[in-house]
Amino acid sequence: MITVRVPAKVNVQLGVGGLRGDGFHDLANVFFAVALGDEVTARHGAGVTLTCAGPDAALVPLDDTNLAARAARLLAAHHGIEPNAALHIDKAVPVAGGMAGGSADGAAALVACDALWGLATPLPELLAIAAELGSDVPFALLGGVALGRGRGELLEPLEVAGTFHWVFAVADGGLSTPAVFRECDRLRERAGTGSSERDVPTPDADPALLAALAGGDPVALAAALGNDLQAAALSLRPALADCLAAGLAAGALGALVSGSGPTCAFLVKDALEAASVAAALTASGTCRTALPTHGPVPGARVITSADGESGRAD
Ligand code: ATP
């Protein structure tokens, strides 16, 4: 039995370029891995089977579309072996919340099955399989903080000093990532700026944001947070504005919609402030619950293996 812990992510910067001919957008995506995450356990089994537990478990598909099941099959196919694994997801990351929980489970299943089947797949090969599964999967393998370009899958690890503290406000119900990108294009067309590759400049990482990360400066990072999908998420879910305002009123240094939303992320000064902002947000009634956490943390890694040996858990 192998258990893997994997982080969720917040995009501290999400720059969205114009719509490409292939239907994707070029991104300048600064991924930041947080301690809030899922655990995926793999045991020997016949074929690929899947179970899931956690507050959002009912929303997780348990068929072959699940990214954890797809990851197990893809890894087995890569090595030309039969995919035999009983997978269990202990799910803490909100589903369809803009925190890439499904992608995280895909990355965790790759690492868990790799260990279960004794494959020792080199990291570059795992990263290539991860990129096949989805744009956000490679980052969940790496963790830390990284700049993603292209669709987000071309990753460059970034330098970060110290630990940053966060609160995540979990909404009732999710938002579809493709629907949020479509709304972003629609808002750009409506504003008259156009939404194609020709109309929108290629996004790049903000030097002020990179300096704030490298300097471990939460006040500077709060000032540089940016998400080009935020207007679209707010357009589809106007009540999120109340949640962002409630967190800022409670003392957060900065706030933004996480990825495509509807989870809202709040950067705070320290762990004490995280607890008080989370309590205020939960009491505000503007979200289902608010969870304090921190980062950056490493990517998907084995925390328990068959012999009961435990690794480090953040
Ligand atoms: P992203 O920000 O990467 O677009 P998200 O965090 O908004 O993703 P996810 O929780 O990853 O959203 O789930 C999006 C959809 O993916 C779900 O609605 C579900 O149908 C499907 N899905 C596939 N595998 C999983 C999984 N292991 N956990 C959750 N959802 C999954």
- Tell me whether residue 312 is in a domain: no
Residue 53: Cβ-neighbour burial (10 angstroms; 0-12, 13-18, 19+): exposed
What pLDDT, on a 0 to 100 scale, did the predictor assign at position 140? 97
Residue 173: the pLDDT is 86
- Whose CA is closest to 70, among 7, 126, 120, 130? 130
Q: What CATH code is carried by the domain that includes residue 75?
A: 3.30.70.890
* 170 in contact with ligand 1, CB cutoff 6 A: no
Residue 254 confidence (pLDDT): 98
- The percent helix, strand, coil of the chain (3-state, each to 5) is 35, 30, 35
CA of 66 to the centre of ligand 1 (A): 8
Residue 280 lies in a domain: yes
pLDDT at position 152 is: 64
Asked if residue 182 belongs to a domain, the reply is yes
| 299 is a domain residue | yes
The per-residue pLDDT for 187 is 97
314 in any annotated domain: no
43 CA → ligand 1 middle, Å:
23
Structure tokens at 135: 């744009």
Question: What residue numbers bound the domain in which 238 lies?
Answer: 1-307
pLDDT at position 306 is: 75
Residue 261 Cβ inside 6 Å of ligand 1? The answer reads no
Q: pLDDT tens track of the chain, all 314 residues?
A: 999 999 999 999 999 999 999 998 989 999 999 999 999 999 999 999 999 999 999 999 999 999 999 999 999 999 999 999 999 999 999 998 999 999 999 999 999 999 999 999 999 999 999 999 998 999 999 999 999 987 766 799 999 999 999 999 999 888 999 999 999 999 999 999 899 999 999 999 999 999 999 999 999 999 999 999 999 999 999 999 999 999 999 999 999 999 999 999 999 999 999 999 999 999 999 999 999 999 999 999 999 887 544 443 33
Please work out whether the CB of residue 185 comes within 6 Å of at least one atom of ligand 1.
Answer: no
128/110 Cα distance (integer angstroms): 11
One-letter amino acid for residue 257 of the chain: V
Confirm whether 9 is a catalytic residue.
Answer: yes
89 Cα to the center of ligand 1, angstroms: 13
Judge whether 136 counts as a catalytic residue.
yes
Smallest CA-to-CA distance from 268 within 218, 220, 225 is with 218
What pLDDT was estimated at residue 174? 86
Asked whether 54 lines ligand 1 (CB < 6 A), one says no
69 lines ligand 1 (CB under 6 A): no
- Options 9, 38, 185, 314, the catalytic residue: 9
Strand partners, 5: 39, 301
Q: How many domains does the chain have?
A: 1
Residue 190: CB partners within 8 Å, gap ≥ 6? none
Q: Which amino acid is present at 297?
A: V
Q: Find the 96 Cα to ligand 1 centroid distance in Å.
A: 5
β partners of residue 289: 170
Q: Is the CB of 103 under 6 A from ligand 1?
A: yes
> How distant is the alpha carbon of residue 40 from its chain centre?
16
